[in-house]
Structures are given as C-alpha cells and as structure tokens.
Amino acid sequence: MKRGAFAAVLFLGLIAQGAADILSEVPQAWADRVAPIPEQRLAELETEKAARIRETRTRLGDMLGAAGVGADELAALYGRLGALYAVQRMYAGAELALRNARSLDPQSFQWAYYAAHIALEQGEAEQALRLLAEATQIDPAYPTLPLRRGEALLGLNRLEEAGAAYEQVSVVPDLRAAALYGLAQIDLLRRDWEGAAAKYSEVLELQPRADAAQYALGQALVRLGRRDEARAHLAQRGVIKPAYADALVEELRSLQMGARFYFEEALAAVERLDYAAAATAFAAGLAEEPANTRARTSYARALWLSGRKDEAEAELRHAVVGGPEQTLPRFLLAVVEDAADDPAAAIAGYRMVLAIDPEHEGALSYLANLNLRQGDYADAASLFKRAIDSGVTQMPVFVHYWGALLRAGTGDAVLRNRLLDFDKRFPEPPVFRYLLAKLLATSKETGIADADRALGIARQLHESQPIPPHTELLALTLAAAGNFKQAQQLQESLVEMARMTGALVHAVTLEQAAASYRAGQLPEPVWSLQDPMFLPPPANPDAPMRNYPAGQPY
C-alpha cells in the first residue's frame, strides 16, 4: 500500500467519536465535486491551533449548506483547511482538503503546489512529481518548480532528469545553493567525489549554516584521500539544508503564527462584505503583530466601511507614523481630509504620496480633481495627464482632463485632437463625439470650425439615441450651420419638456439658448464653467476604502 493511501486509511481510523459534521457527510449539491473529510483528533494540539481548524471546518460546513456559494469560495476555504492541517503534520486531512480545493478550482496553482509540497514532505516522490506536473501546467514560470522537481526525481533515482532540473536554476543566485546541494547528491550517487566535494564546498561558502552539507562533504573528501581535511566536516553532522525563498511555502508555514491566521480571517470576512468581522479579526492580528503597517491600513479600511470612521482615521494616522514609506495609508488619509473639506491637508497628503511614488494613480487623479474643483485648471490638466500616463483607464478621468484643458485656455486644435484620441479609446458611450461636435460647431479658430461635420455627428447621435442632450446638441449644430429656425423649434421643445417635468431652473437655461436662436445667434457662453460634466464630485472615501488595490493587505 502506498504511504498516501495508508495515511488516508489511518486517518479514517482517527475520526472523533462525536457526531459527524457536515464535512464528513457532504451535501448532495457538492457530492460530485468534493470528498468527505472526517474529523481528526485534535487533543494533542495547542488549544489555539485546534480552535483554528475547528473554526475553519465550521465555516466550510456553513458554506456547503448555504445557497449561492461559488466553487472558488469553497476552494479557498478547503485550501485553507488543507494548509492548517499541513502545518500540523496532519497529512491525510491536508491531502483530502487540497484535493477538494483542486477539484473546485483546477486552475489554482497554489493548491496543486501545496499538495506537491506535502507529498515531498512525506517522501511520496512519485505523487509529488505528478502534482508538480499539474502545477507546471498552470504556472510554468514559478521560480522554485525546477528545485522541487529535482527533489522528486532524485527520490525516484532518475538522476539524469534530476540533474537537468537542478541545472535549470543553478545560475539563479537565490536558488544556487539549493541547486548545488541537489547536484552534489547526484555526484555522490555517481561516485564523482571531486564534483561532490566542489559543490558541497560552494554550498557552505554560500550558506555556512547549511550544515547538512558538512558530513556529505567529509565523505567525498575521504574518498579523495583527503582524510585530515575530511575529519572536521565528518564531526559536524547537521540537518539544515540550503535555504531558498519560496513564497507559497513561507505562506504555508506562516499559518503557524497567530497574526497570520487572524489576518486571513479578516480577508475572508472582507470577501463576504462583513467589514465588522474583518475589523475584529484585524484587531486580533495586530495585537500579536502591532508593527504590521499594511495590516493596520487594512484594519482602518474595515473600520471605515463598518461605520467606525473616527477610529479608522486614527488608525490611518498610526499607520502613516509606523510606515512612513507606505503610500496607501497616506493616500487614504488624504482622501479623508479631502472629503472633510480640508484642502490644505489633503494636498499635502497627496503630494507626500507622490514624493514616494510619482506614478501613484490614486494620488494623481484625486489631486487633479481637487485642483479642478478649486479652479487650478493648468495644474489639474498636468496631473490628469500624469495619471493617464501612469495607467489610469477610467473614462471620467479623461473627461475631466479635457475639461481642465478647456478651462486652462488650451487651443482648439489640441482640444480637437484629444477628443479624437479619446473617442477611439472610449467609443461608447459617445461622450467624446458629443464634445467634438460641440467644439467643431462653435470654434472660432480657422481650420477647426466645421459646421457640416458637427451637424453630421449630431444627427447620427440623435438618430441612435434621441435623448435631451443629443436634441440640444442637434439644435446647436443646426444653428451653427445657419438653420436657426429648426434649431429654435428643437430647443423650444426641450424648454417645454423641462417645464412639464418640473425642472424649472434648467428650463430657464434652455430658454436662454432658444432666445439666442430666435435672434439668429449662437448661445453664449458655449462652455459653462458650471457644466456638471466637467465638475468632479466631492471626494468620497467610501470608494477607495472599499476598492483601491492594496497589493499586500498585511
């Protein structure tokens, strides 16, 4: 019987004597996707570690019995349960949980890689190799895959393939010591004492603490007849192999730490939009790891979204002091100050963020909006351009950028070219075609004014969507083309509609344009400084608190 199969059978014998939980008897709705995971005795674990496993099982049970739960949500929680079992060396439970996670989310590299890691820890080289192949299909670029593959192949005595795998990463500085250690093991098996001695020696030069290389080096030196030199190495039997960075394995091991568990709890609560629970979990994690600025920033966001805004602001200020190089807490605090109508503090905050990261999209666009609201049009236009160059893709930013250029006195040729570019980027809704028609109909610059083209655009927009703004645009372009009578008729129909719907203030504005058409003139001013299209709304922290990407949330 394979060790993995034996472990599964053994696991079945360790079921707790109490009533089976829902994970032990999977509901019919999920029975074809996941396998039962019997409860395991947790009496030998520390109370807190056992509680984490029980809590995760309980949450999984709740999700399995609930309606509208997605497979990816279940996969994430099964993967978490597998990881919790794995760090406690409860391999049978870990294997079952990760198998379920892979079944539910077969494109997740993490679960396949974790399963391979667990197989390697148990000495199941063949199973590990199969799982590593699965992981490689998902993300062949993960940096430590060749090392893990070499480890599995070496365990199967497939030395040629193992050597090729290790050679793949032997030139990567952070992985070289581990790769040389594997290649040296192959040299020993091939009785290449010279090669083994050279490689083990380099391993110890790179990582003196990797004492697992000491005895093996001594053995190679003895075979080379260098007994005096070998004696010191043979006396240093050790078990520490060369270390290397493996983000996923480090993440797995970190689950043994309390803070990490609570932070994961918090993120799971955020995914459920339970911000109060997220705040509670972040607070628990910060009690164990108070210097974690990223987690404190996430805590502040959860506090804000659960209605505890004063506490959230205080935590953001704490995070700014604790992590002066971190941009996210500074940015969010600046948005809070912006919303509180403290432009001086907000501007200072945005500029501090930009001093750290000159391409920070949030600080660039929010500061641009603030400048635009304050009438600093040239500065606003410059900041909007930087935001767009940095990668901002939201259409309102482009609209506000064009509005800032307009109000800053930019020439019509530049304004036209920007509209043409933006319309290609955002063909729907046709905001930029609307603005282009208005510009071409009213421009006084030679080579820009084009009443016929403006009228053609307006007709097309009105035919496809006869809404009041398009009717008003059609009236303007008709007047620009000299047809004031039809322009007047269209405009007066808009006036009547506004009055009928109770929009009396807007009716007055519309009537002023109708009067201009009756007088054979275009309305003035063409571009109102109060046009809501070009006025960003006041800053609202709710959106960035909820949606602004954190990168690393803790």
Q: Is residue 358 part of a domain?
A: no
- Give the separation between CA 41 and CA 344, rounded to whole angstroms: 60
Both 167 and 137 in a single domain? Answer: no
| Res. 282: pLDDT tops 90 | yes
The CATH number covering residue 477 comes to 1.25.40
Q: Is residue 211 part of a domain?
A: yes
Average pLDDT over residues 252-270: 78
Both 13 and 94 in a single domain? Answer: yes
Both 171 and 110 in a single domain? Answer: no
Per-residue pLDDT, 65: 86
Average pLDDT over residues 62-83: 89
Per-residue pLDDT, 21: 65
Both 453 and 477 in a single domain? Answer: yes
Per-residue pLDDT, 11: 31
- Give the separation between CA 105 and CA 88, rounded to whole angstroms: 24
Both 163 and 134 in a single domain? Answer: no
pLDDT digits (tens, 9 = 90+) for 425-435: 999 999 999 99
Range of the domain at 204: 155-246
| Res. 37: pLDDT tops 80 | yes
Question: How far is CA 238 from each of CA 176, 226, 312, 456, rounded to the nearest angstrom?
Answer: 20, 21, 50, 83
Q: Is residue 316 part of a domain?
A: no
Q: Is residue 380 part of a domain?
A: no
Residue ranges in 340-450 assigned as alpha helix (H) = 343-356, 361-374, 377-390, 395-407, 412-425, 431-442
The residue out of 230, 246, 262 marking a domain boundary is 246
- Give the separation between CA 214 and CA 230, rounded to whole angstroms: 9
pLDDT digits (tens, 9 = 90+) for 353-408: 999 999 999 999 999 999 999 999 999 999 999 999 999 999 999 999 999 999 99
Both 444 and 514 in a single domain? Answer: yes
The residue out of 213, 246, 279 marking a domain boundary is 246
User: What is the rounded average pLDDT for all residues in the chain?
Assistant: 91
Q: Is residue 298 part of a domain?
A: no
Poorest-confidence range of 22-26, 107-111, 169-173, 317-321? 22-26
Per-residue pLDDT, 418: 98
| Res. 338: pLDDT tops 90 | yes
Q: What is the CA radius of gyration of the chain?
A: 33
268 pLDDT band, cuts 50/70/90, is confident
- Give the separation between CA 311 and CA 119, rounded to whole angstroms: 46
Query: In the chain, pLDDT over 90 holds for what percent of residues?
Result: 77
258 pLDDT band, cuts 50/70/90, is low
Give the sign of the dihedral formed by CA 70, CA 75, CA 78, CA 84: negative
Phi and psi torsions of 14, nearest 5°:
-105, 15
Both 88 and 197 in a single domain? Answer: no
Total tally of structural domains belonging to the chain: 3
Per-residue pLDDT, 13: 31
Both 109 and 4 in a single domain? Answer: yes
Poorest-confidence range of 254-263, 491-500, 515-524? 254-263
Question: How far is CA 403 from each of CA 46, 357, 438, 510, rounded to the nearest angstrom?
Answer: 62, 26, 13, 21
Average pLDDT over residues 479-496: 96
| Cis preceding linkage at 466, omega within 30 | no
Both 440 and 520 in a single domain? Answer: yes
| Res. 33: pLDDT tops 70 | yes
Q: Is 280 left (phi over 0), alpha (psi -120 to 50) or beta?
A: alpha
Both 10 and 131 in a single domain? Answer: yes
Higher pLDDT, 530 or 133: 133
Q: If you ran DSSP here, which 8-state letter would residue 383 be given?
A: H
| Res. 15: pLDDT tops 50 | no
Average pLDDT over residues 60-71: 88
Poorest-confidence range of 201-205, 242-246, 266-270, 397-401? 266-270
Both 6 and 65 in a single domain? Answer: yes
- 106 and 137 Cβ atoms separated by less than 8 Å: no
Per-residue pLDDT, 257: 60
- DSSP H/E element including 250: helix 247-254
Both 3 and 100 in a single domain? Answer: yes
5 pLDDT band, cuts 50/70/90, is very low
The residue out of 211, 246, 281 marking a domain boundary is 246
Q: Is residue 485 part of a domain?
A: yes
Neighbours of 466 (CB within 10 A): 10
Highest mean pLDDT among 15-24, 25-34, 449-458: 449-458
- Give the separation between CA 186 and CA 154, rounded to whole angstroms: 8
435: tokens are: 């603005």
Q: Is residue 549 part of a domain?
A: no
The CATH number covering residue 34 comes to 1.25.40.10
Give first-to-last CA distance, the chain, whole Å. 43
Q: Is residue 262 part of a domain?
A: no
